[in-house]
Amino acid sequence: MDKGKSLNDLEDKYFSKEETIERGEYEKYVNEEINKTIMDKYYTPTIAEFHIGFEYEKAIGDEFVICYFGEGVMQDSLPNITSCIQLEQIRCKYLDAEDIIECGWELSPHNHNPKFITWEKELRKFELIYCVDINKYRILEAGEEDQRESDDTIFFGEIKNKSALKQLMQILNIK
């Protein structure tokens, strides 16, 4: 994305009523917008975020290796995790477009509003909407005849990482 361009400039370029954005350009825009809202790609998680299956990265030598809490050969105990957090040897990747797609969501071809980035799941039964201006997510469930209204919101808030999205999907019974 060109530096110095405002959201209105992007809207004029990509989202005018006369033009249709090419899917590849929109996907590039989506990744840029999400990455702009998070200053760093990683953060240090709190011990409260850890649950069975929580994805994090642990420093081993000069590299960070992806680990899943409570799974695999290298199972870390909570005291070990706490110590590693204090030593800044553990990090977690913020949720990004790639993670959302890995969780089975597809970028929606129906919404090209630059202030909202939309993914679909289960043939539009669910929509995951990222609100660019406020850095929050909203999940909608389709009503009858695929009509969506404001009261179809089943979640609104922060989704910090891929593990949190997976956990939320499980709670909301989104397959």
DSSP-derived secondary structure for 70-114: T-SSSPPPHHHHHHHHHTT-EEEEPP-HHHHHHTT-EE-SS---T
pLDDT band at 6 (very low <50, low <70, confident <90, very high): very low
With a cut of 70, say whether residue 67 has pLDDT above it.
yes
- Going edge to edge, which strands form the sheet with 90-93? 42-43, 90-93, 55-60, 63-68
User: Percent of the chain at pLDDT above 90?
Assistant: 50
Contact assessment for residue 75 and residue 40, using Cβ atoms and an 8 Å cutoff: no
Report pLDDT for 84.
92
Contact assessment for residue 161 and residue 93, using Cβ atoms and an 8 Å cutoff: yes
State which of 10-24, 59-73, 144-158 shows the largest mean pLDDT.
Answer: 59-73
pLDDT band at 46 (very low <50, low <70, confident <90, very high): very high
Contact assessment for residue 38 and residue 159, using Cβ atoms and an 8 Å cutoff: no
Report pLDDT for 90.
95
Who has greater pLDDT, 122 or 32? 122
